[in-house]
């Protein structure tokens, strides 16, 4: 083979490889979205019993408990809240890969009685939206019971596909986190925004 033919073959291989890499990152083509950011199992998220606790603007990654300040009631009015029945806080976020984070959270029972039947549902959305098409991750944890005034802490691995990471990047690195805490007698939702990129 002469040098010109070898250079032409090399250029074609380079173009095909670049196109394949771009298709993989975008989640299109025969491989599809193989990152595993969400599961095939659809879990019904319980409806909140009236109050969504959380921020009204956004945070830039600092630790917040999602319960300070104002809350929005089911009728849409804002009220100053005393301590909610539960407090949910992100304790730390550690990088475990390009699109992977180990997230440590804490749930506090602020009530004067033992809470039973506790389940925690967390959904992460790209940007400031909570539309189902913007959901990039979801997880569920069965807590069970939590004594009055007690806390529980857990670390979960949040792994996103490259296309889900790209979706967050397109939203200027912002995510919206909805965490619903459901117990036998009360269900509340915490909403928080973070800039993660």
Please check whether residues 116 and 181 belong to one and the same domain: yes
Please check whether residues 66 and 135 belong to one and the same domain: yes
User: Mean pLDDT in the chain?
Assistant: 76
Please check whether residues 157 and 60 belong to one and the same domain: yes
Examine residue 59 and state whether it is found in any structural domain, yes or no: yes
The reported pLDDT for the residue numbered 56 is: 39
Please check whether residues 6 and 87 belong to one and the same domain: no
Please check whether residues 84 and 160 belong to one and the same domain: yes
The reported pLDDT for the residue numbered 197 is: 83
Please check whether residues 14 and 56 belong to one and the same domain: no
Closest CA to 140 of 118, 116, 123, 121: 121
Please check whether residues 79 and 22 belong to one and the same domain: no
CA within 13 Å, CB half, 123? 19
Closest CA to 88 of 115, 60, 128, 126: 115
5: left (phi over 0), alpha (psi -120 to 50) or beta: alpha
38-71 per-position pLDDT tens digit = 444 444 555 555 456 665 344 444 444 444 434 4
Please check whether residues 96 and 150 belong to one and the same domain: yes
Examine residue 42 and state whether it is found in any structural domain, yes or no: no
- Domain of residue 9 covers 1-32
Examine residue 45 and state whether it is found in any structural domain, yes or no: no
The segments of the chain whose pLDDT lies below 50 read 18, 21-43, 50, 56-80
Q: How many domains does the chain have?
A: 2
What burial letters (b/e) apply to 117-147, b meaning 16+ CB within 10 Å?
Answer: ebbbbbbbbbbeeeeeebbbbbbeeebeebe
């Amino acid at each position: 083979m002469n040098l010109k033919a070898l250079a032409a073959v090399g250029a074609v291989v380079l173009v095909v490889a670049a196109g394949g890499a771009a298709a993989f990152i975008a989640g299109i083509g025969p491989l599809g979205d193989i990152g595993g950011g969400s599961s095939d199992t659809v879990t019904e998220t319980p409806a909140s019993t009236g109050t969504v606790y959380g921020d009204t603007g956004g945070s830039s990654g600092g630790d917040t408990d999602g319960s300070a300040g104002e809350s929005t009631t089911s009728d849409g009015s804002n009220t100053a809240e005393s301590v909610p029945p539960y407090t949910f806080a992100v304790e730390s976020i550690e990088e475990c890969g390009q699109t992977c984070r180990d997230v440590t959270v804490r749930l506090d029972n602020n009530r004067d009685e033992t809470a039973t039947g506790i389940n925690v549902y967390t959904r992460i959305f790209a940007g400031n939206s909570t539309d189902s098409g913007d959901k990039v991750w979801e997880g569920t944890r069965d807590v069970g019971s939590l004594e009055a005034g007690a806390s529980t802490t857990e670390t979960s691995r949040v792994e996103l596909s490259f296309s889900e990471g790209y979706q967050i990047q397109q939203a200027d690195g912002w995510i919206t986190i909805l965490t619903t805490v459901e117990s036998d007698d009360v269900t509340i939702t915490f909403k928080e925004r973070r800039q993660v990129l």
